[in-house]
């Protein structure tokens, strides 16, 4: 009798029982920690500060230390290190001295994926949403996948889940080229643009070549699901020596998007498929970028033979991901009531997608963007693109660059950005040195019906929550 391909027996990592994770509060690390503890391993970890993530991990059974000390390593059999942790970290040093293996986060993810049917989602933009959509559709089909995602999946209140089936769906991180550790059965690449260029020596050709190498980590019987609308991916296609399935708006896409209709926050469209009838789809998210993310999901689901009804209901019922065009509530300010939206995007293309989505959803409203650039190196490398896209806001409140551990780079700070935007003559940016001053600025510029967008990957995410709470309190007093 043939084996049920969805039945999965969990292999064990030989000799490994106790796992210590440095930087356990990070999005990628926390998801892996949650899966490992649910697999029955003893998991401990350290981080610099308390957060909702560390609280959630404690609730799941992870021992969490605040601060990095050699004693935290204890009797661990292996230490997993975040990409933000360097070799001088006290816990890394202690582990090396004790001859305890120290492995990067992606290597542990690769180990979890090694005995499963791995689906890895890579690309400069759209990884988190696409990974979440695939996980939601597979769940709707009753396949109970394991997933590890770089954002909070609203429907489950976590960025990871241990499933009982053979499927593991995960984001593949190109920021430090660590995705080369992964050996999935299916790879999705959403797009390839310049970002994290310090990793690649400032050479886009190296970045491009690394993505190609990642695609060739697929076995010869695997499949690469690629967005043919992306010019770099289209150029790369002749060099890919694995089976390829394409998706996009282009006429030659295998899974081609057509008949798109936009109605506020809802988008309807059809996916024309190579071997099946066209599939009508409804997505409760605005934006062309999310339509492409959904098309990638349909391509993966069809490759795995999922039923159309599961695909349609999984997409239509998707509840979104934290900090991805998330409606936070209303701001009741002196100038009127405004809608508050929060988004994690920190690349010019992502900022443009947020602006386009806001204008699709609320075409008559002004967009007031509070933007915090992330990393001086990214601001330097993409300076002109940032100036161009930020000039499209109706009102721009520009915070200083969130350094993320980098030293300041002359000419790549927010004062310089504001000066360059002002010189274009499209709007007068408001530079705010201290994030604590943003509420006061909003009180002076927001008008009735505005859409306020907090955007960025730094500590601006906490600001959006504070603003939402302040508006609630003001509303209660009025």
Catalytic annotation on 171?
Answer: yes
Residues 6+ apart with CB under 8 A from 234: 228
Cα 307 off chain centre by? 27
Query: What's the CA gap between 342 and 357, in Å, rounded?
Result: 12
Catalytic annotation on 277?
Answer: no
Q: Is the dihedral of CA 16, 162, 130, 57 positive or negative?
A: negative
Residues 6+ apart with CB under 8 A from 182: 106, 109, 110, 113, 118, 120, 170, 172, 214, 217
Tokens of 96: 């090396």
Q: Which residues pair with 47 in a beta bridge?
A: 66
Tokens of 370: 């509070």
Q: Is the dihedral of CA 427, 428, 432, 433 positive or negative?
A: positive
Residues 6+ apart with CB under 8 A from 307: 141
Q: Which of 27, 54, 124, 128 is catalytic?
A: 128
Length of the chain: 478
**Could you tell me where the DSSP H helices lie in 98-244?**
105-114, 127-140, 204-215, 231-236
Q: Which of 91, 111, 140, 171 is catalytic?
A: 171
Q: Which of 127, 174, 193, 400 is catalytic?
A: 127
Catalytic annotation on 127?
Answer: yes
Catalytic residue positions, numbered: 127-128, 171
């Amino acid at each position: 009798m043939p084996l049920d391909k969805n039945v999965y027996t969990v292999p064990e990592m030989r000799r490994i029982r106790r796992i210590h994770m440095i930087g356990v509060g990070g999005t990628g690390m926390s998801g892996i920690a949650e899966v490992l503890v649910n697999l029955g391993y003893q998991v401990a970890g350290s981080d610099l500060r308390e957060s909702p993530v560390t609280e959630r991990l404690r609730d799941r059974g992870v021992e969490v230390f605040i601060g990095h000390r050699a004693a935290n390593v204890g009797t661990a059999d292996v230490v997993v290190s975040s990409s933000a942790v360097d070799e001088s970290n006290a816990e890394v040093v202690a582990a090396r001295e004790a001859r305890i293996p120290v492995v990067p986060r992606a290597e542990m993810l690769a180990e979890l994926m090694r005995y499963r049917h791995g689906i890895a989602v890579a690309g400069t933009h759209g990884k988190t949403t696409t990974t979440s959509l695939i996980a939601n559709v597979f769940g709707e089909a009753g396949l109970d996948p394991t997933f590890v995602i770089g954002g909070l999946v609203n429907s489950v209140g976590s960025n990871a889940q241990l499933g009982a089936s053979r499927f593991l769906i995960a984001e593949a991180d190109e920021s430090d080229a660590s995705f080369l550790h992964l050996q999935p059965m299916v790879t999705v690449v959403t797009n390839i643009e310049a970002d994290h260029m310090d990793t690649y020596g400032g050479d886009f050709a190296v970045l491009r070549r690394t993505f190609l190498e990642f695609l060739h980590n697929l076995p010869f019987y695997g499949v690469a699901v690629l967005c043919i609308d992306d010019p770099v991916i289209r150029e790369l296609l002749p060099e890919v020596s694995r089976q390829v399935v394409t998706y996009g708006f282009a006429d030659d896409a295998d899974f081609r998007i057509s008949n798109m209709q936009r109605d506020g926050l809802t988008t309807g469209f059809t996916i024309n498929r190579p071997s099946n009838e066209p599939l009508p789809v409804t997505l409760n998210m605005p934006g062309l970028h999310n339509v492409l993310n959904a098309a990638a999901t349909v391509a993966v689901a069809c490759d795995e033979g999922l039923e159309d009804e599961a695909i349609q209901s999984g997409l239509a019922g998707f509840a979104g991901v934290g900090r991805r065009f998330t409606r936070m509530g209303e701001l009741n300010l002196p100038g009127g009531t405004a809608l508050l939206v929060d988004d994690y995007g920190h690349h010019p293309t992502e900022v443009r997608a947020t602006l386009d989505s806001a204008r699709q959803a609320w075409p008559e409203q002004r967009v007031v963007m509070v933007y915090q650039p992330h990393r001086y190196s990214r601001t330097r490398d993409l300076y002109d693109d940032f100036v161009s896209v930020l000039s499209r806001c109706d009102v721009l409140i520009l915070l200083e660059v969130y350094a993320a551990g980098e030293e300041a780079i002359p000419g790549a700070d927010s004062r310089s950005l504001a000066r360059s935007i002002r010189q274009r003559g499209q709007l007068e940016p408001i530079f705010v040195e201290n994030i604590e001053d943003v509420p006061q600025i909003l009180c002076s510029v927001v008008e009735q019906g505005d859409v306020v967008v907090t955007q960025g990957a730094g500590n601006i995410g906490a600001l959006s929550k504070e603003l939402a709470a302040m508006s609630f309190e003001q509303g209660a007093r009025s």
